[in-house]
Amino acid sequence: MTREATAGGRPAERGIRGRVVMLVDNGVEGDSRVQKVARSAADAGWDTILLGCAPLDAPRSWRLGGAQVRVLPLAGARTSGGAPAGLRRLAGLRRWLLVRGGLPLRMARLLRRPVEHAQVWFWSAVKGDRAWRWLEPGLWNYERTFAAAIDELAPDLIHGHDFRMVGVAVRAAQRARAAGRRVAVVWDAHEYLPGVKPGRDNARWLPGHRAYVREYAPLADAVVTVSETLADLLWREHHLAERPAVVLNAPVLSAGSPAGGAALDLRRMCGLDRSTPLMVYAGMVAPHRGLDTVVAALPLLPGVHLALVVHERSMLQVRRLVDAAARLGVADRVHVRPFVPHEQVVRLLGSADVGLIPVHRWPNYEIALSTKFFEYSHARLPIVVSDVKTMADTVRATGQGEVFRAQDVTDFARAVRAVLADPGRYRAAYDRPECLLPTWTWQAQAEVLDAVYRRLVPTARAEA
């Protein structure tokens, strides 16, 4: 039986290769990798349904090119985690002392840590990799959210994005196989879990999530990830049968222009003329992203302006940066502008002089080229990047920018001054063979992913 096409025309003309259900632990909007994967899979002829989740009262749905997007209400409230009775009593005592005794927050944390470490030790010793069920039982909420929808859609392939979705995808495939239907699983590892900043301030979060991934990652039929270094780490850590395929977080470029079409004017949006030096940062804002360093350097860079193209979820952190700029007397040189759709980012950035990646030395920043690295590159911006290994090594090799010591305000200012003194030298690097712009496109990456899908879902089975 051939399924009806999910998009207006293109897949129907070629014939549907098979049904792909993608899973992500967010509301889809703002996640450029997930959006690009879904759209390109549909364009390649796969019947594509992307399932996301968010704290909603009712489901939402829309179309993303040829893909169908459904965002489901996230099931369940966060649970407290399992523990032996004695440990639960200790946790209860800690809460009572905090609330009734008015203990300072620092003391409360000191009391909490031994309890959490005891939970980690106990459940890890007793249950091994199954310990996540007691350390992070809230992961079951994703199972409750997605399981019925996946089963009803009867996919040929499930593509689980990031670490929380690998277990949901594997268990759905196991249910299908028990019913006599073969389903392939692709796990898309967006980052290295041991290098992730924990989602909550407790000792259970990282051991619980790592146990979850260790249990299910080896059961995926294929793994894809974002860098060569991370592919090697995952291959070794999870004893995978084959090395993960690398699908870079490269931008989508429109045909006919190396910068993706007619330019959007960031300068005009900031009220600046062409002679004003303009640095740009595009992305989420958090302390470890290093923008404190940039704002602190503005007094050392007279006349240089900063544009922050940021998601609305970052606005609390952005206000903190703007307040810091005001205290330094440079608030008039900081311009905050909203995100644009991911396919428009390269066009927006083109009128700036410098693209910034001032991140701290954090494990996940050390091992991959970030999305903004590729976006700045296709906008042909000189890049000023902190000395995180992979991006710093690439910039040094290509000559497309300058490297500074992470969190060093003076060295950051030096790097910016060097770029502004001779921007043409750095832009010229994009025409050299060492710079891999032709492969730093989503179009090239989509071909890698499509080859993985084709291998896992042969045409004969997809059309059966």
The per-residue pLDDT for 257 is 42
Question: Phi, psi at residue 260, to the nearest 5°?
Answer: 85, 25
Tens of pLDDT, residue by residue over 424-450, are 999 999 998 777 888 899 999 999 999
Q: 33 Cβ partners below 8 Å, 6+ apart?
A: 161, 188, 190, 226, 249, 371
Residues 154-201 pLDDT 10s: 999 999 999 999 999 999 999 999 999 999 999 999 999 988 877 777
Fold of 10-77+136-249+443-462: Rossmann fold (3.40.50)
**Poorest-confidence range of 63-77, 108-122, 268-282?**
108-122
DSSP readout, 346-362? HHHHTT-SEEEE---S-
Give the separation between CA 278 and CA 280, rounded to whole angstroms.
7
Please report, as a single letter, which amino acid is at residue 275: S
Q: What is the pLDDT of residues 124-156, one digit of tens each?
A: 999 999 999 999 999 999 999 999 999 999 999
Task: Please report, for residues 91, 104, 302, the alpha-carbon distance to residue 82 in angstroms, rounded to integers and kept in the order given.
Answer: 11, 26, 56
Compute the distance between CA of residue 124 and CA of residue 214 in angstroms, rounded to an integer. 13
Per-residue pLDDT band at 463 (split at 50, 70, 90): low
Q: How confident is the model at residue 111 (pLDDT cuts 50, 70, 90)?
A: low
For residue 112, pLDDT over 80 is answered with no
Question: Could you tell me the two tokens for 63?
Answer: 């179309």
Q: Which residue type is seen at 364? A: N
Neighbours of 229 (CB within 10 A): 16
Query: What distance in Å separates the CA atoms of residue 185 and residue 25, rounded to the nearest whole number?
Result: 16
Q: Would you report the helix, strand and coil content of the chain in percent, each value rounded to 5?
A: 50, 15, 35
The 3-state DSSP class for residue 426 equals helix
Distances (CA, A) of 121 to 108, 130, 202, 437: 21, 13, 14, 48
**Rg over CA atoms, the chain:** 24
Q: Which two tokens stand for residue 293?
A: 């360093």
Fold matches, 10-77+136-249+443-462 and 266-440? yes
Does the global pTM surpass 0.75? yes
* Backbone φ/ψ region at 380: left (φ over 0), alpha (ψ -120 to 50), beta: left
φ, ψ at 102 (rounded to 5°) = 60, 40
Rounded to an integer, the average pLDDT of 50-58 is: 95
Residue 461's pLDDT is what? 56
Pairwise CA distance, residues 209 & 193, whole Å? 8
Q: What is the mean pLDDT of residues 263-284?
A: 92
Pairing of strands 67-73, 19-23: unpaired
Q: When comparing pLDDT for 404 and 11, which is higher? A: 404
Contacts of 328 (CB under 8 A, 6+ apart): 295, 296, 298, 299
Q: Taking the CB of residue 96, how many other CB atoms lie within 10 A of it?
A: 10
Least confident of 30-39, 194-203, 210-219: 194-203
Give burial (CB, 10 Å; 0-12/13-18/19+) of 235.
middle
Judged on CB neighbours under 10 Å (0-12, 13-18, 19+), 321 is buried
Residue 180, amino acid: G
Distance of CA 349 to the CA centre of its chain: 20
What count of other Cβ atoms lies within 10 Å of the Cβ of residue 86?
11
Q: What would the two tokens of residue 46 be?
A: 């796969």
State whether residue 40 is helix, strand or coil: helix
Lowest mean pLDDT of 48-62, 72-86, 396-410, name the range.
72-86
Q: Which of 195-199, 242-246, 397-401 has the lowest mean pLDDT?
A: 195-199
Fold of domain 266-440: Rossmann fold (3.40.50)
Over residues 315-346, the pLDDT tens digits come to 889 999 999 999 999 999 999 999 888 889 99
DSSP 457: S
* Listed range (93-107, 319-333, 363-377) with the worst mean pLDDT: 93-107
Ranges of H-type helices in 53-204:
85-101, 105-127, 132-135, 140-153, 162-178
Q: Are strands 354-357 and 383-386 parallel, antiparallel or unpaired?
A: parallel
Q: Where are the domains of the chain?
A: 10-77+136-249+443-462, 85-135, 266-440
